[in-house]
Amino acid sequence: MASEELAQKLQRRLQLEESGAAAEGEVEAVKGAVEDAEERSCLTASAGAELSAKLCRRQDINEGAAQPRRAAVFNPYTEFKEFSRRQIKDMERMFRLYDSGRDGYIDLMELKLMMEKLGAPQTHLGLKNMIKEVDEDFDGKLSFREFLLIFHKAAAGELEEDSGLLTLAKLSEIDVSIEGVKGAKNFFEAKAQALSSASKFEAEIKAEQDERKREEEERKHRRAAFRELKSAFTQ
């Protein structure tokens, strides 16, 4: 009798444990389903926001309020033919000098420091207007291409006299009004002069190559002289 009663209690205990495990499993399943639904909801919201941003960007482009973004990589020597290779390298050194964040852009604060160093400090609004004049992708900072546009516009006479960008171009060490397009008064004259500068561009490349060859020959002569001197002492 006692053994039968004990067996019933054990069976009842086993049934309770099994029902408890099932209930726990159901809770976990429901919890997992809720988490999956929340994750899908977040992904849908993120995708919706991204799609909305792309549609707004496309609408701005269609209405002429924005320009299509250009590729991040470009060739300044072919795109800005009115400048010599040396001038572009000078502009690149200047750009890197003031790109203190080393992120490939000159932001508002870096432009502020640049104008102060050039002796022409600007107001906060003035700095924002300077960036806006050449900010093609509307990111509020200057890429190297947009930096080159400053000198391109200055050389082509496309900047107003009171423009902060024109002040920047005039105060920099790169005199675009004289060297850039040799005093061209408008963009079309600049383009015409750029077409005739192809031979000069090739000559500059050849001069750089000749300079590297000359330096290599000098290194070979120095190494040969050193070997001769060393062999004289070892004899």
For residue 123, which of 134, 141, 105, 111 has the smallest C-alpha distance?
Answer: 111
User: Phi and psi of 186, rounded to 5°?
Assistant: -145, 175
Angle CA 166–65–47, to nearest 5? 120
The pLDDT of residue 95 is above 70: yes
**Which tokens belong to 117?**
């160093």
What is the average pLDDT across 6-10? 65
The pLDDT of residue 193 is above 70: no
For residue 147, which of 183, 188, 94 has the smallest C-alpha distance?
Answer: 94
pLDDT interval class at 227 (50, 70, 90): confident
Q: Which residues pair with 142 in a beta bridge?
A: 106
Q: DSSP H helical segments within the chain, as ranges?
A: 2-62, 76-79, 85-98, 108-117, 124-134, 144-155, 164-171, 187-195, 198-234
pTM above 0.75, yes or no: no
The pLDDT of residue 212 is above 90: no
Q: Which residues pair with 106 in a beta bridge?
A: 142
User: Phi and psi of 224, rounded to 5°?
Assistant: -65, -40
User: Phi and psi of 89, rounded to 5°?
Assistant: -65, -35
pLDDT interval class at 190 (50, 70, 90): very low
The pLDDT of residue 172: 85
The pLDDT of residue 221: 77
Alpha-carbon distance values, 100 to 96, 124, 203 (Å): 7, 19, 34
For residue 165, which of 210, 131, 213 has the smallest C-alpha distance?
Answer: 131
155 with 82: CB under 8 angstroms?
yes
pLDDT tens readout for residues 56-79: 666 665 666 655 555 557 899 999
For residue 168, which of 140, 138, 133, 136 has the smallest C-alpha distance?
Answer: 133
Torsion sign over Cα 172, 182, 142, 76: negative
**Which tokens belong to 91?**
């502009």
Task: Provide CB contacts within 8 A for 130, sequence distance 6+.
Answer: 111, 122, 163, 164, 165, 168
Residue that the structure tokens 């509020």 belong to: 140
84 with 76: CB under 8 angstroms?
no
What is the average pLDDT across 84-104? 93
pLDDT interval class at 121 (50, 70, 90): very high
User: Phi and psi of 106, rounded to 5°?
Assistant: -110, 110
